[in-house]
Amino acid sequence: MVNGKIYKQKKQVGDYVRKGDIIAVIANNQKIYANLNIDESNMGKIKLNQQIVIKLNVNSDKTYKGVISEILPTFDEQSQSFIIKAILTEPMDFAISGTQLEANIFVNKKQNALVIPRSFLGYGNKVLDEDRKPIAVKTGIVSSDYVEILAGLKENQIVLKELY
């Protein structure tokens, strides 16, 4: 016996139940984890206890922190990826099961980088200066929110968000 909450009831009173049938999905809502599908080209960057940030599709304005807790060693044919598990390290403001999510895994850290919001980067790695002239930039690390600029811009240079 364990503590938990019923998240999905699969059988009702009076239903025929065979050996091995799932009757209900029960989970410990104090220990929520995410199953993440990782492309095989990125598996070499993944290690236990790496920090992650998760955005749930049901509430994309909020992020949750977690760590990688388990790396499953076999390739999943159905999803065409490797599966890792990540435990959330901060409480969620609601309990949910089975939603899709976006996870960003911190594989490296860089200090004193010049970055711009990703939405400011236009087609062909160009940004607009304050005179609305396109400037070609060389990019480095790209996250879901920011782009590292390796060349083409200087610190405190004004760029515009408007696309040309």
What pLDDT band is residue 141 in, cutting at 50, 70 and 90? confident
| C-alpha 35: how far from chain center | 11
Average pLDDT, the chain: 87
Confidence (pLDDT) at 58: 84
pTM of the full structure: 0.62
* 163 pLDDT above the threshold of 80: no
Q: If one looks up domain 5-105 in CATH, what number appears?
A: 2.40.30.170
All CATH 2.40.30.170 domain ranges of the chain, comma separated, are: 5-105
pLDDT over 90 percentage in the chain = 42
What pLDDT band is residue 164 in, cutting at 50, 70 and 90? very low
pLDDT in tens, 55-92: 888 887 888 899 999 999 899 898 899 999 999 888 77
Residue 11: both structure tokens together: 């059988």
Partners of 66 in beta bridges: 52, 88
pLDDT in tens, 12-43: 999 999 999 999 888 776 777 889 999 988 89
* 125 pLDDT above the threshold of 80: yes
Cβ 86 vs Cβ 103: under 8 Å: yes
Cβ 52 vs Cβ 106: under 8 Å: yes
